[in-house]
Amino acid sequence: MKNSGYYSQFGGAYIPEILVPTFDELESAYLVAREDESFWQEYIDLMSTYSCRATPITRLDNLTEQLGGANVYVKREDLNHTGAHKANNVMGQGLLTRRMGKTRVIAETGAGQHGVATATMAAKFGFDCTIYMGAHDVARQRPNVFWMEQMGATVVAVTEGSQTLKDAINEAFRDWVSNMDDTHYVLGTACGPHPFPEMVSWFQSIIGIESREQMLERTGKLPERVYACVGGGSNAMGIFGGFLEDKGVELVGVEAGGRGRGQGQHAARLAYDDATIGVAQGYKTYFLQDNDGQMQDTHSVSAGLDYVGVSPILSHMHETKEVRFEAASDTEVVEAMQRTVRNEGLIPALESSHAFAQAYKEAPDMSSNEDILINMSGRADKDIFTVADAVHDPKWQQFIIDKAEAYRAEMQNG
């Protein structure tokens, strides 16, 4: 094994000995694919025929006028098949899994988007599929669990620890150390041991590559700022990836501010100062942990951002100041989402709505000659229960009550 995969002091591969040959195999397969232009072409072809690439860019005409500052553009990752950017990474890793001759895939999922994307890929490629999901997330994201199971995946509710994303990752690793011979672990974000952060960022860079071309074509210049929400960091790495060489483009990562500063209240590793550097889940980065290095509970209205760690590449870019990190609170996020739905008819996921919230805060202070680009990493269909609760919609509540009563009657009548 090579001591590679560092971004200044962050990253690495802190893996159990049993997985060393598996990681060597994965890294080789990845490096071969990366050198092989036909692989990327195969990937583009797949994404443009099975999913909806290139995804368009939409100008928010009404909100641009209301905000009275910068022109607001949105990269529409919600139009990917399965409704989020997760499909990019998953389809790429699916092609790689096939190349490695493996027949089973496993994945962790937080919000369930990555789980649905992986189950979809497994159905298409004919792989067996097991998805690990924190029991807490299973409870708040039932619609995604439903679809994973419909697609033939086994969904395992993880009852260890905080029952969220990090616990699902631990369980996926526990599966992998038993089943590495036929199984590939489709890690869903730009975290984990090398080569995952780099490989996932590579697949997601399709977002940034398209965005740069589209903005140039559309406005004749590059945007002044690019916003992306940051959980593990894969959609952010994806869109930022198109603008890394462009000094005039400010990159803004928006984390889950939850209920505000203070450990346990949020999942902001970089924007707030509650996180410290540590090593867990196979890599070194900023973690929300105590002085002993025990991981702490996190909170966010969005399951997909509710995570203790963050991409080591983003920790590096935080220190070099290549990316500015901000946090948006639960309340701001729900408001930003409702505002987008009402004024533009777009339905950003709660995760993506973090990026919208920060962009809406900053756009009024910019000039009408300036453009901003928001990565709409996913759509909110999956969030319908959470959002309905947040907006206290009485008609929705009545609908659920009626539905429950109908089910109960059906069960009683056998």
Q: Binding residues for other proteins, per CB under 8 A?
A: 1-3, 12-18, 20-22, 160-161, 166, 170, 173-174, 177-180, 276-282, 284, 287, 289, 291-295
**Closer residue to other proteins, CB minimum distance, 85 or 284:** 284
**Closer residue to other proteins, CB minimum distance, 16 or 56:** 16
List of residues 6+ apart from 281 with CB closer than 8 A: 166, 169, 170, 173, 191, 192, 309
Distance CA 311, CA 316 (A): 9
Where does 289-376 show beta strands of DSSP type E?
323-329, 371-376
Active site residue 86: yes
**Closer residue to other proteins, CB minimum distance, 49 or 178:** 178
Distance CA 61, CA 352 (A): 19
Active site residue 108: yes
**Closer residue to other proteins, CB minimum distance, 171 or 332:** 171
Give the Cα-Cα-Cα angle 247, 251, 254 (nearest 5 degrees): 170
Question: Which of 228, 235, 258 minimizes the C-alpha distance to 333?
Answer: 258
C-beta of 290: minimal distance to other proteins in Å?
Answer: 9
- Catalytic residue, chosen from 75, 86, 166, 382, is 86
C-beta of 194: minimal distance to other proteins in Å?
Answer: 10
Classify the C-alpha dihedral 363-52-385-265 as positive or negative.
Answer: negative
C-beta of 137: minimal distance to other proteins in Å?
Answer: 17
- Is residue 274 within 8 A of residue 261, CB to CB? The reply is yes
- Is residue 121 within 8 A of residue 89, CB to CB? The reply is no
**Closer residue to other proteins, CB minimum distance, 18 or 216:** 18
C-beta of 77: minimal distance to other proteins in Å?
Answer: 30
C-beta of 162: minimal distance to other proteins in Å?
Answer: 9
- Catalytic residue, chosen from 51, 75, 77, 108, is 108
- Is residue 225 within 8 A of residue 355, CB to CB? The reply is no
For residue 47, CA distances in Å to 42, 71, 113, 208, 396 come to 9, 29, 17, 15, 35
Please report which residue ranges of 152-298 form alpha helices under DSSP H: 165-179, 196-219, 234-240
Q: Which residues are catalytic?
A: 86, 108, 377
